[in-house]
């Protein structure tokens, strides 16, 4: 059989194979069924109970595997649910190595594992690949958890180099990358040596903030089988309707990301021209600008900036009108937040200080609105807050 032709990402992502539908539906149907009839008392079909598998979820997972470059993809009920499934591969007494700038929910789960299961996490500066070397233990190290870019300081990790260090010294350890901020369109960790790539499907993959989902992709079938066992045992597989919504959202990933990213570059330039310290890998002032260009095909649409004053930051956030005050990112609408007050508030203040997470930091998540309107609204908010001179 001739090998199937592969197309560019924007084509692949919108092309969903649906060969088994008896009615040749142009869109994958929603199999809104909890159970499936069996042919006999002893002969089971491919599906029996939607906790274990559902045709709609199967189509979604097959499509995700294609666009992620994964051997196997799995869909669960949230991004944190995806990380929970992954961390269940770690046993008591084993260790995790993670960054020192993490999403608040990730930090909370790692803290819980330390207290409840004696699973220790070493937090390191992942911007220096060699910082991981003193913590690699051939016996204890089980997971190396990377965010790149990190949330919310937008630090970059050298995935290929770190993966090489880990696999050379700890053959039983798995390199895991939270790729939510970049999406498979801009960054493909599995092709750089990572063993697992996961996403909050709620964000860019869905794109509309109307569903909760988590996505896991694996570089090997064996790891995929281990994770599926956990999902089936715990019952956290994504339901058919949300699977259908996510499959629909993924089709427009490339066109959405192109628009959002182009606008983010404009917003970054605007803020830097007004003298703000901006954290964004698309800025030539970013200390790891060249590294990010090597491992990703674009800077994405999330950035953060510092005002130098918590009060000013609060006034900016509250003065914005087009920018909705909300946690999360990846939506078609633009969002604004103060991470230390919202998404990262669960991290104790003293730990935020140790990790140099500025209390005045504002995070912007750029949507698909007209960029001129976004810039006008941001300018008005900065002026109203006293962050920039009205005359200037």
Query: What are the pLDDT digits (tens) for 255-268?
Result: 999 999 999 999 99
| Average pLDDT of the segment spanning 168-194 | 98
Could you tell me the two tokens for 386?
């006293």
Question: Residue 112: its pLDDT value, please?
Answer: 97
Question: Any idea which architecture 9-250 has in CATH?
Answer: 3-Layer(aba) Sandwich (3.40)
Higher per-residue pLDDT: 3 or 241: 241
- Torsional sign, CA 277, 279, 280, 284: positive
Question: Residue 391: its pLDDT value, please?
Answer: 52
Question: Residue 347: its pLDDT value, please?
Answer: 76
| Average pLDDT of the segment spanning 97-111 | 94
C-alpha distance across the termini of the chain, in Å: 66
| Mean pLDDT over each residue of the chain, to the nearest integer | 94
- Give the confidence band of 372 by pLDDT, cuts at 50, 70, 90: very high
Q: Which residues are catalytic?
A: 51, 103, 178, 203
Higher per-residue pLDDT: 229 or 2: 229
Domain residue ranges in the chain:
9-250, 254-384
Strands of the 72-76 sheet, one edge to the other: 72-76, 214-218, 196-200, 174-178, 141-147, 95-99, 120-124
Q: How far is CA 44 from CA 32, 38, 48, 343, in A?
A: 19, 5, 7, 45
Question: Percent of the chain at pLDDT above 90?
Answer: 85
| Average pLDDT of the segment spanning 94-123 | 96
| Average pLDDT of the segment spanning 64-89 | 98
pLDDT tens, residue by residue, 141-163: 999 999 999 999 999 999 999 99
pLDDT tens, residue by residue, 290-349: 999 999 999 999 999 999 999 999 999 999 999 999 988 999 999 999 998 876 777 777
| Average pLDDT of the segment spanning 239-260 | 98
- Give the confidence band of 192 by pLDDT, cuts at 50, 70, 90: very high
| Average pLDDT of the segment spanning 229-255 | 98
Over its C-alpha atoms, the chain yields an Rg (Å, rounded) of 22
pLDDT of 79 > 80? The answer is: yes
Question: Residue 162: its pLDDT value, please?
Answer: 98
Question: Residue 8: its pLDDT value, please?
Answer: 93
Count of other CB atoms within 10 angstroms of residue 341:
15
Question: Residue 236: its pLDDT value, please?
Answer: 98
Cα atoms in the 13 Å half-sphere on the side-chain side of 295: 26
Question: Residue 25: its pLDDT value, please?
Answer: 87
**For the domain 254-384, what is the CATH code?**
3.90.1150.10
pLDDT tens, residue by residue, 113-126: 999 999 999 999 99
pLDDT of 2 > 60? The answer is: no
Question: Residue 390: its pLDDT value, please?
Answer: 58
Higher per-residue pLDDT: 21 or 238: 238
Cα atoms in the 13 Å half-sphere on the side-chain side of 45: 13
| Average pLDDT of the segment spanning 15-40 | 87
| Average pLDDT of the segment spanning 163-171 | 98
- Give the confidence band of 41 by pLDDT, cuts at 50, 70, 90: confident
């Amino acid at each position: 059989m001739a090998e199937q032709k592969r197309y560019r990402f924007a084509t692949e992502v919108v092309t969903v194979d649906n060969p088994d539908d008896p009615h040749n539906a142009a869109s994958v149907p929603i199999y809104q069924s909890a159970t499936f009839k069996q042919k006999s008392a002893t002969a089971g079909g491919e599906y029996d109970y939607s906790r274990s598998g559902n045709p709609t979820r199967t189509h979604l997972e097959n499509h995700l595997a294609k666009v992620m470059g994964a051997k196997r993809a799995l869909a669960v009920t949230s991004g944190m649910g995806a990380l929970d499934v992954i961390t269940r591969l770690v046993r008591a007494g084993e260790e995790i190595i993670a960054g020192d700038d993490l999403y608040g929910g990730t930090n909370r789960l790692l803290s819980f594992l330390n207290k409840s299961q004696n699973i220790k996490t070493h937090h390191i500066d992942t911007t220096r690949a060699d910082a991981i070397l003193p913590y690699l233990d051939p016996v204890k190290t089980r997971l190396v958890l990377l965010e790149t870019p990190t949330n919310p300081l937008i630090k970059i990790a050298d995935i290929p180099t770190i993966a090489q260090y880990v696999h050379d010294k700890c053959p039983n350890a798995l390199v895991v990358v939270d790729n939510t901020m970049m999406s498979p369109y801009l960054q493909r960790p599995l092709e750089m040596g990572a063993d697992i790539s996961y996403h909050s499907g709620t964000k860019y993959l869905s794109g509309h903030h109307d569903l909760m989902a988590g996505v896991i992709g694996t570089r090997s079938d064996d790891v995929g089988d281990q994770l599926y066992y956990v999902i089936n045992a715990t019952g956290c597989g994504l339901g058919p309707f949300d699977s259908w919504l996510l499959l629909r959202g993924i089709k427009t990933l490339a066109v959405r990301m192109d628009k959002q990213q182009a606008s983010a570059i404009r917003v970054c330039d605007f803020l830097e021209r007004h003298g703000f310290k901006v954290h964004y890998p698309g800025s030539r002032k970013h200390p790891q600008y060249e590294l990010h260009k090597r491992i990703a095909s674009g800077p994405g649409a999330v950035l953060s900036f510092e005002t130098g004053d918590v009060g000013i930051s609060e006034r900016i956030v509250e003065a914005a009108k087009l920018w909705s005050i909300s946690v999360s990112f990846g939506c078609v609408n633009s969002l604004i937040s103060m991470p230390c007050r919202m998404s990262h508030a669960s991290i104790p203040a003293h730990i935020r200080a140790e990790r140099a997470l500025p209390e005045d930091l504002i995070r912007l998540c750029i949507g698909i609105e007209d960029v001129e309107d976004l810039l006008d609204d941001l300018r008005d908010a900065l002026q109203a807050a006293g962050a920039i001179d009205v005359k200037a």
